[in-house]
Chains A and B, each alone.
Chain A
Amino acid sequence: MALPEKLNQTLETLELVPDRNERIQLLIDIAGRFEEVPPRIARRPFPPDHLVPACESQAYVFGEERPNGTLDFHFAVENPQGISAKAMAVILDETLSGAPPEQVAEVPQDIVYRVFGRELSMGKSMGLMSMVAMVANMAKKHAESRAGRS
Chain B
Amino acid sequence: MSEIESRGYVRPEVLVPTDWVAAHLDDPGVRIVESNEDPLLYSTGHLPGAVEVDWTRDLNDPVRRDYLGREGFQALMRRLGVTRDTTVVFYGDRNNWWATYAYWVFQLFGHDKAKVMDGGRIKWVNEGRPLTKDVPSYPASDYQADERDDKRIRAFRDQVLHHVEGKKPLVDVRSPQEFSGERLHMPEYPNEGALRGGHIPGAANIPWAKAVNPEDGTFKPASELRALYENEARIKPEDDVIVYCRIGERSSHTWFVLTNLLGYKQVRNYDGSWTEWGNLVGVPIERSV
Interface residues of A (CB under 8 A from B): 21, 24-25, 27-28, 31, 53-54, 56-57, 79-85, 87, 109, 116, 119-126, 129-130, 133-134, 136-137
Contact = CB atoms under 8 A, between A and B. Distances in A.
Contact of B55 (A31, A121, A134): A121
A130 B189 contact: yes
Nearest to A57: B38
B44 A83 contact: yes
Given A119-B56, A123-B246, A137 B188 contact: yes
B189 A54 contact: yes
B121 interface: yes
A79 to B, nearest CB: 8
A83 B37 contact: no
23 contacts: A24-B43, A28-B43, A53-B183, A53-B186, A54-B189, A57-B38, A80-B122, A81-B94, A83-B38, A83-B40, A85-B38, A119-B56, A119-B57, A121-B37, A122-B193, A122-B246, A122-B247, A123-B247, A123-B249, A125-B190, A130-B189, A134-B189, A137-B188
Contacts of B44: 28, 83
Nearest to B43: A24
B176 interface: no
B172 interface: no
Nearest to B42: A24
Contacts of A84: 38-40
Nearest to B193: A122
Interface string B39-63: 1110110000000001111000000
Given A53-B183, A122-B275, A81 B189 contact: no
B192 interface: yes
Contacts of B190: 54, 109, 125-126, 129-130, 133
Given A25-B43, A81-B94, A123-B37, A54 B188 contact: no
A87 B246 contact: no
A114 to B, nearest CB: 15
Interface in B108-124: 121-122
A18 to B, nearest CB: 15
Contacts of A56: 37, 94
Contacts of A129: 189-190
Nearest to B135: A21
Contact of B39 (A25, A54, A120): A120
A78 to B, nearest CB: 12
Contacts of B93: 81
A24 B39 contact: yes
A69 B121 CA distance: 43
Interface in B185-227: 186, 188-190, 192-193
A90 B41 CA distance: 16
Contacts of A24: 39-40, 43
Contacts of A85: 38
Contacts of A123: 37, 246-247, 249
A82 B43 contact: no
B40 A119 contact: no
Given A53-B186, A126-B192, A120 B56 contact: yes
Nearest to A82: B38
Given A81-B122, A119-B54, 6 more contacts: A28-B44, A54-B189, A121-B39, A121-B55, A121-B249, A125-B190
Nearest to A21: B43
Nearest to A130: B189
Contact of B56 (A83, A87, A121): A121
A31 B40 contact: yes
A128 B121 CA distance: 22
